Structure 1
Amino acid sequence: MNAILECAGLDAGYLAGSPVVRGFDLTLAPGEVTALLGPNGAGKTTVLLTIAGLVPALGGRLAIDGKPLGKGKARAAAKQGVVLVPDDRSLFTGLTVRQNLALCRRRGGTTVERMLEFFPALGKRLKIEAGKLSGGEQQMLAIGRALMLQPRVLLIDELSMGLAPVVVEELLPVVRRVATETSAAVVLVEQHVGLALGIADHAVVLVHGEQVLTRPASELAADPSILERAYLGELPAVTG
Structure 2
Amino acid sequence: MTTTMMNCDGLSAGYGRGRACVRDVGFELRPGEIMAVLGPNGAGKTTLLITLAGLLTPLAGTVELDGVRIKPGSARTASKAGIVLVPDDRALFTGLTVTENLRLARRPGGTTIAEVIDYFPLLGERLDVSAGLLSGGEQQMLAIGRAFMQAPKVLLIDELSMGLAPVIVESLLPVIRRFVDERQVAAVLVEQHVHMALTVADRALVLRHGEVTTTGAAADLAASPEVLERAYLGHAAGTDSVVY
> Normalized against structure 2, the TM-score is what?
0.94
Aligned residues: 235
1:191-212: CA deviation from partner (whole Å, max 9, x where unpaired): 0100000000000000000101
Give the secondary-structure state (helix, strand or coil) at the position aligned to 1:49.
helix
In structure 2, the partner of 1:186 is 187
1:164 aligns with 2:158: no
> Normalized against structure 1, the TM-score is what?
0.96
**Structure 1 residues 152 and 108: CA distance shift in structure 2, 3 A:** closer
**Structure 1 residues 108 and 51: CA distance shift in structure 2, 3 A:** closer
- Structure 2 residues without counterparts, runs of 5 or longer: 237-244
1:26 Cα offset (Å):
1.1
Letter in 2 for 1:76: T
Give the secondary-structure state (helix, strand or coil) at the position aligned to 1:24.
strand
In structure 1, the partner of 2:60 is 59
Letter in 2 for 1:209: G
CA distance in 1, matches of 2:60, 2:78: 17
Letter in 2 for 1:2: T
In structure 1, the partner of 2:230 is 229
1:167-221: CA deviation from partner (whole Å, max 9, x where unpaired): 0111111111111011110000000100000000000000000101001000011
**Identity %, equivalent residues:** 60
In structure 1, the partner of 2:96 is 95
1:46-195 to 2 correspondences below 5 Å: 46-107=47-108, 109-195=110-196
1:117 Cα offset (Å):
1.4
- Structure 1 residues without counterparts, runs of 5 or longer: 236-240
Letter in 1 for 2:185: A
1:131 Cα offset (Å):
0.6
User: Contact (CA 8 Å) 1:7, 1:27: kept in 2 or not?
Assistant: yes
In structure 2, the partner of 1:215 is 216
1:16 Cα offset (Å):
4.7
User: Contact (CA 8 Å) 1:16, 1:58: kept in 2 or not?
Assistant: no
1:2-61: CA deviation from partner (whole Å, max 9, x where unpaired): 111111111111235311111001100001000000000000000000000000011012
Give the secondary-structure state (helix, strand or coil) at the position aligned to 1:20.
strand
1:147 Cα offset (Å):
0.4
Give the secondary-structure state (helix, strand or coil) at the position aligned to 2:20.
coil
1:106 Cα offset (Å):
1.3
Q: CA RMSD in A?
A: 1.1
User: Contact (CA 8 Å) 2:35, 2:205: kept in 1 or not?
Assistant: yes
1:228 Cα offset (Å):
0.5
